[in-house]
Amino acid sequence: VETVDRPQWTGAGRTADDRPVTLLANVGSAEDAAAAVRAGAHGSGLFRTEFCFLDAAREPDAEAQRVAYAAVLGEFAGKPVVVRTLDAGADKPLPFLDAGGEPNPALGVRGLRAAFERPQLLDAQLAAIAAAAGDADAEVSVMAPMVATAHEAAWFATRARAAGLRRAGVMVETPAAALCAEELLDAVDFVSIGTNDLAQYTTAADRLCGALAELNDPWQPALLRLVDGLCRAGRELGKPVGICGEAAADPLLAGVFTGMGATSLSMTSAALPAVGAGLAERTAQQWAATAQRARSAPDARTARARAAE
């Protein structure tokens, strides 16, 4: 019988030289949360709260929100959970937050932008998250989607803290946010890179358009360089920079992000075993060299090939 000498996933992310890597799950329901814990996730790096209310015709009241959030937090006792405030619009329309016939919904009033128009909606959500967090054992942070400026990030963090939530961060999904990484990090406690949207906005290629899949490839050097710059800024400022886009579910790319210095990787829980096993194939230093080879490649295909070497 041939034995395969491949490191196995044991529930904790580690490089070959035993450097820990925090592996988290993306969730949208209590069922997802339970599956994440079963799969060995250290916690959740992205709880998509809009998934709780996709069918709601009206804004859910405080109690309905508290119950929905508590159901997810309850699965993560003793573990960190990053709760993302409503990311409505574009590919995730919510009937009660409809911006109404925008010609370019992906560039319209989506994510945190809806809260600038109706701040009471954000405040009500933050209060419900704080109430759910108060009843749960999970270590709760909040973050805002679709942020373009440090001013927006500071605005969100102020409101989150006013609601009694101690750790506030933002997603980096726009090139503007990535290019102002230092100012952004200054305004919040952490950032999390949403590679799905950051890819689509970096290459100006709709993430839902199959014909543009090549431009949306997260191996595009432009995206890798933005991620690298964010990780560097995080190191300089001593603040966490996580990844929560689907790109983190690609074991080789997860290694590249680790090599760049990402402090956590959050993904669909089904990907955790493969990512865990993949990370253990190289040392931290080898992943840093891998990242350097990928980020300096001229195109996505070459970046992937160089990383695989």
The least CB distance from residue 218 to ligand PEP, in Å, is 9
Residue 120 CB: number of other CB atoms within 10 A? Answer: 9
Please give the Cα distance from 5 to 149 (Å, whole number).
Answer: 47
Q: What is the DSSP string of 2-69?
A: PPP--PPP-SSEE-TT--EEEEEEEESSHHHHHHHHHTT-SSEEEEEGGGGGTT-SS---HHHHHHHH
The least CB distance from residue 244 to ligand PEP, in Å, is 5
Residue in this structure with the two tokens 């070497």, named with its chain if needed: 309
Return the amino acid letter for 89: G
Residue ranges that bind ligand PEP, judged by CB under 6 A = 46, 48, 87, 173, 194-197, 244-245
Q: What is the DSSP string of 81-115?
A: EEEEPP--BTTB--GGG---S-S-GGGSS-THHHH
Query: By beta-carbon distance, which residue lies closest to Mg ion?
Result: 197
Chosen from ligand PEP, Mg ion, none, partner binding at 75 (C-beta under 5 to 8 Å by type): none
Cβ contact 142:169 at 8 Å: yes
Q: ∠165-166-168 over CA atoms, to 5°?
A: 85
- Binding positions for Mg ion, 98-127, rule CB under 5 A: none
The least CB distance from residue 171 to ligand PEP, in Å, is 7
The least CB distance from residue 98 to Mg ion, in Å, is 18
Chosen from Mg ion, ligand PEP, none, partner binding at 259 (C-beta under 5 to 8 Å by type): none
Please give the Cα distance from 195 to 224 (Å, whole number).
Answer: 10
The least CB distance from residue 43 to ligand PEP, in Å, is 16
Chosen from Mg ion, ligand PEP, none, partner binding at 195 (C-beta under 5 to 8 Å by type): ligand PEP
Select 122 or 146, whichever has its Cβ closest to Mg ion: 146
Select 195 or 258, whichever has its Cβ closest to ligand PEP: 195
Select 46 or 254, whichever has its Cβ closest to Mg ion: 46
The least CB distance from residue 281 to ligand PEP, in Å, is 25
Please give the Cα distance from 83 to 140 (Å, whole number).
Answer: 7
- Binding positions for Mg ion, 158-197, rule CB under 5 A: 173, 194, 197
DSSP state of 197: H
The least CB distance from residue 173 to ligand PEP, in Å, is 5
50 forms part of the interface with Mg ion (CB under 5 A):
no
Select 47 or 280, whichever has its Cβ closest to ligand PEP: 47
Chosen from Mg ion, ligand PEP, none, partner binding at 233 (C-beta under 5 to 8 Å by type): none
Chosen from ligand PEP, Mg ion, none, partner binding at 13 (C-beta under 5 to 8 Å by type): none
Residue 38 CB: number of other CB atoms within 10 A? Answer: 10
- 3-state DSSP call for residue 307? helix
Please give the Cα distance from 253 to 278 (Å, whole number).
Answer: 10
Binding interface with Mg ion (CB under 5 A): 173, 194, 197
